[in-house]
Structure formats: C-alpha cells, structure tokens
C-alpha cells in the first residue's frame, strides 16, 4: 500500500503547516524523561544541586534589559511552584549598575543539556484590567539556553524570549536560535532563525507549555504541544551542550502600566528534559498486530511495517510514531483508520 505510506509521510513532513498534533512527548512514545536533569519544583527550596539562583550582589548579569537586577530571594520554590518575583517601583535600588527593580531567575549549574526536548510549564507575569485588557508592560519573561565560554563561541536557543517591550500585551513572545563560530568578531552573534509568536489568549491568565525539540538535523518550537516554527538540516543546529535559564527580565524601553499590582510573578510548575530512546544499532520488523502491541518505541536503524500477506491495523484512537535513522518501509495490508495518528520520522542518532 505505497499510496498510504507516501500520503502519511507527506502529512507528517507538513504537520507544522497544518497545525496537526506534533510529536511532543505527550504523543510520541520515543521520548524518555531525564529525571536527573528535570525539576518538578516540589521541594521547599530551590534545588541547589541542579540550579544556581541568579543574584546581583554576587555578580550575575545584573543589567539584562537595562533595568533588571536579580535578587536571590526573588526565586522561591514553594507548594509545587517555582515563583520568580518582580518587585515594583518604590523598592530600594539594587546594588548594581543600572539595576532598579529586583527580579528572579535561575540557571542550571552546568552546561550539560544537549539534543532533546525541553519543556517549561509556566504562567507568565501580567494582569487583566477591569475592562478585560491584558497588560504586561516592561516585563520580559524568558526561557532559553546558552553556551558562551568565551568570545570565540556563542550558541543560544531562545525557547520563549522576545526582546524589549514586545510582551507588553501579555501575548507576544518570540523564539529562535543563533550561533557564532570560532573567529567571531567581539562575540557578535549570527542569528540563524527567529520568529515572533502571538498567542490568542493572555499568557498571564493560565499555565502554558513552552518547548523546543532540538536535534542535530532539526529544531522545532512548540506552545501547548502545537508546533509553530521549525527548520531542518542547517549546520547551526549542531551546537554545543548548553545551560538552561528561566527568568524575568525588565525592559528599559518602556514603563510599567499604571496600576500594575505588585509583586508580579512568573510561576513555573515544572521544567522537563526528554531524550530520544536510542536503539540505533537495531532494525525492527513488525508483521502483525501482536508485534505492533509489543513494539518498544525507540530510534531504530531501520523499521519494516508489514510484508506480503501480513495484516496490520491501527485503532481509531491510536497515536503511533516511528523513528529510524535510515529507512522506514510500509507494505502488505496496512490500515490507518480515520482518527488515528500515524507518523514516520527520519531521526539522527544523537
């Protein structure tokens, strides 16, 4: 049934354009949660074996955005939520050049996050006024990754980060990635791709997922499991392992909206890091519904689904995603009924 194979592969390759259900960990069993590098923020304090709490007096980049001063006490893990707090006008200026308003942020202790799926579930700062209009003027919530040991190398992936005052409507965020290779002039960053993403609902009103799938041959950005920006097979995707950073920055180019209630918070329910389950040296052959039921999802060298005389059928509620490095072949009597999700993805073994 080559027609079925070609149609489904085309649909998968164009899933982003069609807003189809994409292959986030919520619907792709090939992803495995790395609990050691994730955090549900269920403790009574920030886990200092995983995170460094940004602190202006200790010298942590205390002028990002022109008005931001990080304060250790503004990052609190309590009741299953990481609270990153912003103190408004009237507070004592932070002891840091340009720092006026205290905010919170954390970064991972080490640069050991490489290819995988990175997801934050968060409620962003801002508020709804009496007329139902959202305001987040001056707030600059961020979720990004970086590698910058010196001025000859700079890698960065901005999962959720939009410069300056763009987030003032509590709906506009951005995503992208950049790199500067050896010999880059004065840490000049080469932008490899970027997009502005406007939500249909205020992001300060409820929790939402912000995520990226990063591999050596692809990068895909998601919100709430729906992809909105992707690119494939660019050299700039092969970057170094990075650090994670989640914070509230403040922009110097605008002021807080009059009547903004303080303190304001960026509330993070969890940060999760997934890796693909790799079994790239193995090829798999699925010849029956029993084989399909017993299949352990992982990235294979090659996959064969069906053969002459075999019968394989998905259920209408099935969501099956197969990943292989080399080839995926579908033949025989194979049925994917209306309502089922059947995806074939060529994947690098990273």
**Is residue 26 in some structural domain?**
no
pLDDT at position 314 is 94
**Is residue 59 in some structural domain?**
yes
CB atoms within 10 A of CB 209: 19
Do residue 271 and residue 290 come from a single domain? no
**pLDDT tier for residue 59 given thresholds of 50, 70 and 90:** confident
Please report, rounded to a whole number, the percentage of residues in the chain having pLDDT higher than 90: 67
Count up the domains in the chain and report the number.
Answer: 2
Do residue 66 and residue 123 come from a single domain? yes
More confident call, 115 vs 178: 115
**pLDDT tier for residue 188 given thresholds of 50, 70 and 90:** low
Structural domain ending residue among the three candidates 276, 301, 330: 276
Do residue 174 and residue 235 come from a single domain? yes
CA gap 70, 68 in Å, rounded: 6
Do residue 293 and residue 251 come from a single domain? no
Of the listed ranges 22-26, 74-78, 325-329, the one predicted with least confidence:
22-26
Structural domain ending residue among the three candidates 276, 294, 317: 276
Q: Is there a cis peptide before residue 56, judged by omega within 30 degrees of 0?
A: no
Burial of 73 (0-12, 13-18, 19+ CB in 10 A): exposed
Quote the domain boundaries for residue 179. 31-276
**pLDDT tier for residue 192 given thresholds of 50, 70 and 90:** confident
**pLDDT tier for residue 20 given thresholds of 50, 70 and 90:** very low
Average pLDDT over residues 101-117: 92
Give the pairing type, strands 299-305 and 190-198: unpaired
Average pLDDT over residues 276-301: 97
Kindly tell me if the per-residue pLDDT of 4 is higher than 90.
Answer: no
Average pLDDT over residues 126-149: 94
State the CATH number of the domain containing residue 229: 2.60.120.200
Average pLDDT over residues 152-157: 83
Do residue 259 and residue 324 come from a single domain? no
**pLDDT tier for residue 90 given thresholds of 50, 70 and 90:** low
**Is residue 22 in some structural domain?**
no
pLDDT at position 70 is 87
Please report, rounded to a whole number, the percentage of residues in the chain having pLDDT higher than 70: 85
**Is residue 25 in some structural domain?**
no
**Is residue 291 in some structural domain?**
yes
Do residue 310 and residue 270 come from a single domain? no
Average pLDDT over residues 136-157: 87
Do residue 298 and residue 191 come from a single domain? no
Do residue 305 and residue 186 come from a single domain? no
Rounded to the nearest integer, the mean pLDDT of the chain is 86
- Which whole-number Å values give the CA distances from 186 to 51, 150, 210, in the listed order? 29, 10, 31
**pLDDT tier for residue 18 given thresholds of 50, 70 and 90:** very low
**Is residue 76 in some structural domain?**
yes
Do residue 71 and residue 10 come from a single domain? no
Structural domain ending residue among the three candidates 230, 260, 276: 276
Do residue 57 and residue 10 come from a single domain? no
pLDDT at position 91 is 56
> pTM to 2 decimals?
0.89
Question: Which parts of 87-128 are beta strand (E)?
Answer: 101-103, 105-108, 116-123, 127-128
pLDDT at position 10 is 32
More confident call, 183 vs 62: 62
Do residue 72 and residue 208 come from a single domain? yes
**Is residue 330 in some structural domain?**
yes
CA gap 312, 179 in Å, rounded: 45
Average pLDDT over residues 27-52: 96
**pLDDT tier for residue 183 given thresholds of 50, 70 and 90:** very low
**Is residue 238 in some structural domain?**
yes
Do residue 196 and residue 240 come from a single domain? yes
Of the listed ranges 76-85, 214-223, 229-238, the one predicted with least confidence:
229-238
């Amino acid at each position: 049934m080559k027609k079925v194979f070609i149609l489904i592969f085309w649909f998968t390759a164009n899933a982003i354009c069609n807003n189809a259900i994409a292959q986030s960990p919520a619907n792709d069993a090939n992803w495995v949660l790395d609990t050691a590098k994730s955090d549900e923020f269920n403790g009574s304090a920030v886990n200092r074996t995983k995170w460094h709490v940004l602190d202006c007096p200790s010298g942590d980049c205390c002028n990002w955005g022109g008005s931001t001063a990080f304060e250790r006490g503004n990052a609190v893990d309590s009741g299953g939520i990481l609270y990153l707090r912003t103190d408004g006008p009237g507070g004592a200026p932070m002891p840091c050049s340009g720092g006026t308003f205290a905010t919170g942020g954390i970064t991972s202790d080490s640069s050991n996050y490489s290819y995988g799926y990175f997801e934050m579930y968060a409620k962003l700062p801002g508020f709804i006024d009496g007329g139902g209009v959202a305001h987040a003027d001056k707030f600059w919530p961020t979720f990004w990754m970086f590698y910058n040991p010196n001025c000859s190398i700079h890698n960065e992936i901005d999962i959720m980060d939009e410069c300056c005052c763009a987030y003032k409507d509590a709906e506009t965020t951005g995503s992208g990635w950049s790199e500067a290779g050896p010999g880059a002039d004065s840490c000049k960053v080469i932008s490899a791709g970027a997009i502005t993403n406007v939500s249909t609902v205020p992001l300060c009103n409820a929790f939402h997922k912000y995520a990226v799938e990063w591999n050596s041959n692809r990068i895909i950005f998601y919100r709430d499991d729906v992809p909105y920006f992707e690119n494939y097979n660019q050299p700039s995707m092969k970057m170094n392992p990075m650090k994670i950073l989640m914070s509230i920055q403040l922009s110097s180019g605008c002021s807080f909206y009059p009547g903004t209630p303080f303190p304001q918070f960026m509330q993070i329910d969890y940060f999760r890091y997934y890796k693909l389950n790799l079994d790239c040296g193995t090829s798999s052959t699925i010849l029956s519904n029993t084989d399909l039921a017993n299949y352990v999802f992982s990235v294979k060298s090659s996959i064969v689904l069906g053969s002459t005389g075999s019968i394989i059928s998905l259920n209408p509620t099935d969501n099956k995603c197969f990943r292989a490095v080399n080839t995926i072949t579908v033949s025989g009597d194979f049925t994917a009924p209306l309502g089922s999700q059947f995806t074939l993805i060529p994947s690098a073994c990273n």
